[in-house]
Structure 1
Amino acid sequence: MSLPYTTWKIGEVEHKLRLTTRQAVAVEEKLGVNLLKVFMPRQDEDFPLPPLKVMLVVIHGALQKFEHGVTLDDVYDMHDDYVDAGGDQTSLLTDVIIPLFENSGFMPRQKETTDDQATLTTVK
């Protein structure tokens, strides 16, 4: 069973992220678009990397459940710390945003393979 939140690790500090329904609606209102559209590539793009501002607004909303009161300026500073610790925008998307969307019910969660399933697959 997975945790009810996604973790954004910056150096030695872990921040808990969870987009509640209330926060997801607030973020959509701020962005003016459905959150899943953030990942839809335009015709001229192969890889839909959302703008950094969009990802940080999503993170700001997701921090409110467990770290209520964190401001968007705080999130900008956190991102600077994340970059200083070796993070980058692509990693932010793949390691934080996508797991956050899975954990918050926007995307199906990755299914974990059990040992029995692995054995059955190997035996076939």
Structure 2
Amino acid sequence: MMNFEGIQDLGGASAQNETQAPEEKVVNLEEQKKKRQPFAYWNVGGRSFRMKLKASGIGRLENKYRQNLMNMIDDIPPLSVMLTIIQEAMSPWEHGIDYQDVQKLYDAWIDEGNSQLELYQKILIPLMVVSGFLPEKTAASLLEEIENA
């Protein structure tokens, strides 16, 4: 893009006869929405796996479990459900990943000293945030409730 700063207006089809003051845009900081992170990441064995649920994947999961995903994560879901959600969230970026691959990743992650509760707190909840299910504030209060329980 060319920089035309300081160049005199020579007219033309779009030229205006009167000069206009630059429009000032006042934005309240509270009104600015913070951009959501593009992905949640699951780091296993020195590798980082990108995850985000797309509408098509959400539909497949809701059809499989016959309920809304929000209902499923309201309480800590069974491990098989969490791993299936993770598999669906990884599949657009990890071609050919299947449920058994995700189980192996989980086993390796557990061997690294993590727990099933941490899978829910550190992986599943951030995944739901980047996928648009929860605002960050709601996720933070949900995680706080779990820690205090």
Do both share a fold (TM > 0.5)? yes
Q: Distance in 2 between matches of 1:110 and 1:16?
A: 22
Structure showing greater radius of gyration is 2
Q: How does 1:1-124 map to 2 (within 5 A)?
A: 1-40=35-74, 48-110=75-137
Deviation at 1:11, TM superposition (A): 2.7
Deviation at 1:66, TM superposition (A): 1.1
SS of residue paired to 2:136 = coil
Unaligned runs of 5+ in 2: 1-34, 139-149
Code of the aligned partner of 1:109? E
SS of residue paired to 1:4 = coil
Q: Distance in 1 between matches of 2:54 and 2:136?
A: 16
Code of the aligned partner of 1:90? L
Code of the aligned partner of 1:17? M
Q: Distance in 1 between matches of 2:47 and 2:36?
A: 20
Q: How many residues align?
A: 104
Code of the aligned partner of 1:74? D
CA deviations on 1:7-43 (whole Å, 9 max, x unpaired) are: 0011311110010111111111122221011123xxx
Deviation at 1:103, TM superposition (A): 0.4
Deviation at 1:109, TM superposition (A): 2.4
Indicate the residue corresponding to 2:4 in structure 1: none
Q: Distance in 2 between matches of 1:7 and 1:49?
A: 19
Deviation at 1:2, TM superposition (A): 4.6
Q: TM-score, normalised by structure 2?
A: 0.65
Q: Distance in 2 between matches of 1:11 and 1:2?
A: 26
CA deviations on 1:64-103 (whole Å, 9 max, x unpaired) are: 1211210011111111111111111110011010000000
Identity %: 32
SS of residue paired to 1:74 = helix
Structure of higher RCO (CA pairs closer than 8 Å, 6+ residues apart): 1
Q: Once superposed, what is the RMSD of the aligned Cα atoms?
A: 1.5
| 4+ residue segments displaced more than 3 Å | none
